Structure formats: structure tokens, C-alpha cells
Amino acid sequence: MEIILKYFSDFDEKQLRQFAALEELYKDWNGKINVISRKDIESLYLKHVLHSLAIAATIEFQPGTSVIDIGTGGGFPGVPLAIFFPEVQFHLVDSIAKKLKVINEVSNAIGLTNITTQHTRAEEIKNRQFDFAVSRAVAPIKDLWKWAYPLIKRGNKQELPNGLICLKGGDLVQEIAESSVKPRMIPIDEIFEEDYFKEKYLLHITK
């Protein structure tokens, strides 16, 4: 929890309680339904919560913004972002139902009311659009953009135009070349100084 407060301080008491509760809740649920690797659960705040909040360090989602989290897994980046932005609506999507059960149980336990979940693949969602899509290490950029593109509204009601924001790691040169898009790319180790974030990036792609 301290690692979060190292970089972010403007939380109310409810948000502090919600962030503080995540460790025990995820440890408990991870014992029943494995959504986070065993070796990572001890570093939940660094490797999952803070990593997710790289998005919050980059963009201030305005109240009323709608965000879809594609392939959310155990709820990252969607759950930390929903705590951080209580007036933003988050729709968390995954093809594995038991992962969404964990998200729903965690959300209910901490009183998160700005999250909805859907058991589906992003490419199967029809007739819905969002201001932003977010994703963390789910698929190659080419595939992510193919899935996200029809789900994103055109427009811009904040400092960054609507689009896909994804968290990726490693050498992305070939992956970007194969995607035919030109993302804005931010090294996360320029935001957070911990060694874990070396060669990790935030990519922003607009329509």
C-alpha cells in the first residue's frame, strides 16, 4: 500500500480503505480461484495496482467518462482505476467467467459501484461504445486495436483524445510495425522509479 502513497496522495478516506482492502481480498480469492500468479500475489501493489495506475498518472479521466477494460483478468487495470476515478464508469470484460466472479466479489466487498462486468470477448460486443479502451498485456497491439477500434467513440472531452490505452512490456518495435498504428509511447520507468517498470510502456492509440 505504501508504494501507492509514494506517488499518489489525493485520496479520500473511502479510497484509502478500498486500496488497503485489496491485498487481503485478492489473497483470499486467489486461494480459491487463481487469477494472479502465486509469485506475484505478494507484490500485488507494485506489480498490479501501481502498474495499473500508470494510466491514472498519464490521463485524468473526466467525470462521466466511459472505459472498457479488454481482457481484464483479475481486474487489472480496471479495479484500481475504478477506485482512483469514482465518477468514471468502467466495464470489465473477460472470456473466463470465474475471473469476473473474483472482480464482482472484490468490488462488492469494497463498495465499488462504478464497475460492471461482462463474460464475453471484446470482439463479440455489438452496439456499444466507450470513450476509452484499456488493456494490460492481453494480446499483440494489432489484435487489441482490431478489437478496440469499433468500441471507441470518436471525440475528445479531455486532454487526451479518445482511444486505446494499453500497458505492454519488452521490445515492441516489431509488434508496433505489424500493427500499422503509430502509438504515443511512454516509458513507465519515467513515471515510477522502481526497477520492475524498466522496459514497460504505456501506449496510447487514437482513431
Domain positions in the chain are 2-206
The pTM of this model reads 0.96
Residue 136's SS3 state is strand
Whether residue 52 is predicted with pLDDT greater than 80 in this model: the reply is: yes
Whether residue 37 is predicted with pLDDT greater than 90 in this model: the reply is: no
> Across-strand partners of 136?
167
Residue 10's SS3 state is coil
> Across-strand partners of 93?
70, 118
Q: Which CATH code is given to the segment(s) 2-206? A: 3.40.50.150
Q: Whose CA is closest to 197, among 169, 165, 174?
A: 169
Provide the Cα torsion 122, 126, 128, 134; round to 10°: 10
Residue 123 annotated as part of some ligand binding site: yes
Whether residue 145 is predicted with pLDDT greater than 80 in this model: the reply is: yes
Q: Nearest 5°: phi and psi at 173?
A: -55, -55
Mean pLDDT for the stretch of residues 94-109? 96
Q: What is the pLDDT of residue 159?
A: 83
Q: Which three cell numbers stand for residue 5?
A: 502513497
Determine what percent of the chain is predicted with pLDDT higher than 70.
Answer: 100
Q: What is the pLDDT of residue 96?
A: 95
In our burial notation (b when 16+ CB lie closer than 10 A, e otherwise), range 125-142 reads: beeeebbbbbbbebbebe
Whether residue 122 is predicted with pLDDT greater than 80 in this model: the reply is: yes
Please give the order of strands across the beta sheet that includes 115-119.
Answer: 115-119, 89-94, 66-70, 132-136, 163-169, 200-206, 184-187
Residue 128 annotated as part of some ligand binding site: no
Residue 183's SS3 state is coil
Distance CA 202, CA 42 (A): 24
Rg, the chain, Cα only: 16
Residue 155 annotated as part of some ligand binding site: no
CA atoms within 13 A on the CB side of 136: 23
Please, which pLDDT band fits residue 12 given cuts at 50, 70 and 90?
very high
Residue 17 annotated as part of some ligand binding site: no
Whether residue 207 is predicted with pLDDT greater than 90 in this model: the reply is: no
Distance CA 144, CA 134 (A): 10
Q: What is the pLDDT of residue 7?
A: 98
Please, which pLDDT band fits residue 157 given cuts at 50, 70 and 90?
confident
Residue 133 annotated as part of some ligand binding site: no
